[in-house]
C-alpha cells in the first residue's frame, strides 16, 4: 500500500556565492517510507536535508513538506511536525534526559522560561524515553550520558511532538561499534512503534543504515546518481559511480562496502 506524500522536492537547485550546490534533484518520500541519503563529502546532502526540514529554501524548484509549499506556509508551525535528530545538538545546560526530551515539544534547545509541561506531556516524554530503551534513566543528566545514550535521547526528543517526518543527520557520528548498533536497533523499532512516520537519514557509510531502510537517494556533485528502492539503488555500480571510486557492495539484510581492490572478493 502506498502512503501519502510527506515530502516532495521537484527539480530543486541551490546556488551559494555563484556556485551551484544542488542541480535539478527531485525526491518524493511517502508516509511509512525510510530513505537513506548518501553521497561523498560536498555532494549536497546537508543542503537537501535543509530543504526537507523547512530550514533552507531552494534557488529554483519546489519543496512541499507535509503538503505545504515552502514560501507559502508559516515555517514555525511546519517545523513542529518535523523531528530532527542531530548528534551535534548544541545543549549548553545540564538538563536531564526528560528535560531534553521535553524541549522537543517547544522546539527549543533549552527549557523555555515560565514554561511548565502538563501531566500529559510528561507522560508522553516518559513513554518516548521507554521507547528508545532509556526507561529508568529519565532523571540522568545529559553531561553524564554516553554518546549512544545521547543519540537515543535525541530520537525520543524528536518523537515526543508526534512528527510525521523524522530527519536523521549522520546520527552515528562519534559512536563506537556497540553504541552504533544500539542506535540502529532503536531506529529499526520505529517501524513498529510509529509505522506512519516517514524518515530521511543522511550518512556517508552504508554500514550505518538501519535494516528498515526502504529507499535510497545517491547523489554526487549536486546531481542524482540513482534513486528508488534501497536494494535496487545501493548496488556496486551505483555506489562506485557516486563516490568515483571502485567499491564493492554487499547486502545480507544490512549493507556493507569496501574498496573493490582491497583483497579477494567476498564469497
Give per-residue pLDDT as tens, 84-127: 998 888 777 789 999 999 999 888 888 878 888 899 999 999 99
Cα→Cα distances 147→54, 63, 141, Å: 27, 33, 13
Cα→Cα distances 203→41, 45, 61, 106, 116, Å: 10, 9, 24, 27, 36
Same domain, residue pair 138 and 180: no
Cα→Cα distances 219→112, 180, 191, 239, Å: 39, 24, 25, 9
260 assigned to some structural domain: no
What residue has cell string 562519534? 174
Question: What is the domain count for the chain?
Answer: 2
10 assigned to some structural domain: yes
The predicted model scores a pTM of 0.90
Same domain, residue pair 56 and 169: yes
Q: Which residues constitute the domain of residue 121? A: 93-162
Cα→Cα distances 148→29, 133, 137, 157, 203, Å: 27, 11, 13, 14, 16
What pLDDT score was predicted for residue 1?
44
CA–CA separation, 214 and 231 (whole Å): 8
Q: Which long-range contacts (CB under 8 A, 24 or more apart) does 53-57 make?
A: 53/79, 53/82, 53/84, 53/167, 54/78, 54/79, 54/82, 55/79, 56/14
For 188, the enclosing helix (H) or strand (E) is helix 177-193
Same domain, residue pair 126 and 181: no
Same domain, residue pair 173 and 47: yes
The three-state secondary structure class of 172 is: coil
Residue 266 pLDDT exceeds 80: no
Residue 157 pLDDT exceeds 60: yes
Residue 45 pLDDT exceeds 90: yes
Q: Find the CATH number of the domain harbouring 54.
A: 3.40.50.300
58 assigned to some structural domain: yes
How many CA atoms lie within 13 Å of 142's alpha carbon, on the beta-carbon side?
A: 20
Same domain, residue pair 151 and 193: no
- The closest alpha carbon to 198, from 13, 26, 41, 31, belongs to 31
- Domain stops at, among 147, 162, 177: 162
Amino acid at each position: 500500500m502506498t502512503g501519502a506524500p510527506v515530502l516532495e522536492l521537484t527539480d530543486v537547485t541551490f546556488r551559494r556565492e555563484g556556485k551551484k550546490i544542488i542541480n535539478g534533484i527531485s525526491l518524493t518520500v511517502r508516509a511509512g517510507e525510510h530513505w537513506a541519503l548518501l553521497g561523498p563529502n560536498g555532494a549536497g546532502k546537508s543542503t537537501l536535508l535543509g530543504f526537507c526540514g523547512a530550514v533552507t529554501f531552494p534557488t529554483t524548484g519546489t519543496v512541499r513538506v507535509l503538503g505545504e509549499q515552502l514560501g507559502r506556509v508559516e515555517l514555525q508551525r511546519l517545523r513542529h511536525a518535523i523531528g530532527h535528530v542531530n548528534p551535534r545538538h548544541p545543549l549548553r545546560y545540564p538538563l536531564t534526559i526528560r528535560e531534553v526530551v521535553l524541549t522537543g515539544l517547544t522546539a527549543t534547545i533549552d527549557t523555555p522560561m515560565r514554561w511548565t509541561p502538563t501531566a500529559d506531556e510528561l507522560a508522553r516524554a516518559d513513554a518516548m524515553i521507554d521507547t528508545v530503551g532509556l526507561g529508568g534513566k529519565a532523571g540522568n543528566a545529559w553531561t553524564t550520558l554516553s554518546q549512544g545514550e545521547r543519540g537515543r535521547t535525541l530520537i525520543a526528543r524528536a518523537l515526543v511532538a508526534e512528527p510525521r517526518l523524522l530527519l536523521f543527520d549522520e546520527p552515528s557520528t562519534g559512536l563506537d561499534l556497540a553504541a552504533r548498533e544500539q542506535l540502529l536497533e532503536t531506529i529499526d523499532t520505529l517501524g513498529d512503534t510509529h509505522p506512519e512516520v516517514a524518515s530521511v537519514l543522511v550518512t556517508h557509510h552504508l554500514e550505518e543504515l538501519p535494516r528498515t531502510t526502504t529507499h535510497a537517494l545517491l547523489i554526487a556533485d549536486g546531481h542524482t546518481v540513482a534513486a528508488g528502492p534501497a536494494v535496487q539503488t545501493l548496488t556496486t555500480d551505483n555506489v562506485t559511480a557516486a563516490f568515483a571510486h571502485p567499491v564493492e557492495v554487499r547486502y545480507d539484510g544490512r549493507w556493507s562496502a569496501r574498496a573493490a581492490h582491497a583483497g579477494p572478493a567476498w564469497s
